[in-house]
Amino acid sequence: MELPFRLLYQDEHFFAIDKPAGFFVHPPELSPYPVPKEKICLYHLRRTMKKDVIPVHRLDAPTSGVLLFAMSRDKARELNRLFAERQMHKTYQAVVRGYVEPEGLIDLPLEADEGRITVEAQTQYKTLAQIELPYPVGKKYPTSRYSLVQVHPITGRWHQIRRHFDRIAHPLLGDIEHGDSHHNRFFRDTLQIQGLCLKATAIELQHPWSGEKISIQAPPCEKWERIHHLFQHGSDAI
């Protein structure tokens, strides 16, 4: 059986896939609608590899990119230790509304797992490119501005990147839970860029068993090539 996603790295301890947008890591517990097993990563991986592989971390269903799995629970515990000790470095790219600072640290506590208890949360970012398009989205401004950012979450909270940028008034494009519906519609209908503009582009770590430095990169895809083209050429790309 062929996997519906690409393997990016594999050894006897762990492996990484390029998770497509729309796929769940495991069956969602609180989903108001049934999710077909064909859209669940663990279903495909355990069926194909004939092994009870373990997710090391999570990506939201609308987020694409690098996702790690361990070959056993013992291996997962060791990799989770790297996350806990902040020795696992994750890089994302995102498109946000408006012009953000050239670089910054968002240090704002967030509610833990949709609860009332708040926990520390830090997200570093760097602006890669900015565009201003001659389209009034909404009634406030005659043009629309967007930033392409590289993001490094220091902590790993639920929807951390999405919530952090929303809290500083620069929500991610395509985010139906925390974003701006007018700009989401503009990206979807006018720019033909579908879904959440958030991708896990890389994970770097020192291999816990070999000591080798490992860098796992997500390959280019049509959606993000279109996004990069937009930021390179502005309104000429439309």
Instruction: Determine phi and psi for 186, rounding to 5 degrees.
Output: -60, -45
Alpha helix locations (H) across the chain?
41-49, 73-84, 160-167, 181-185, 222-233
Residue 56: closest CA among 14, 19, 8, 89: 14
Choosing from 11, 18, 52, 60, the catalytic residue is 60
Q: Is the Cα dihedral 198, 162, 30, 186 positive or negative? A: negative
Which stretches does DSSP call E strand in the chain?
6-10, 14-19, 54-55, 64-70, 89-97, 103-107, 110-111, 118-119, 122-133, 144-153, 198-206, 213-217
User: Is 107 an active-site residue?
Assistant: no
Name residue 221's amino acid. C
The total number of residues shown for the chain amounts to 238
Given a contact cutoff of 8 angstroms between Cβ atoms, the answer to whether 162 and 195 are in contact is: no
| Structure tokens, 144 | 């629309």
Catalytic residues: 60
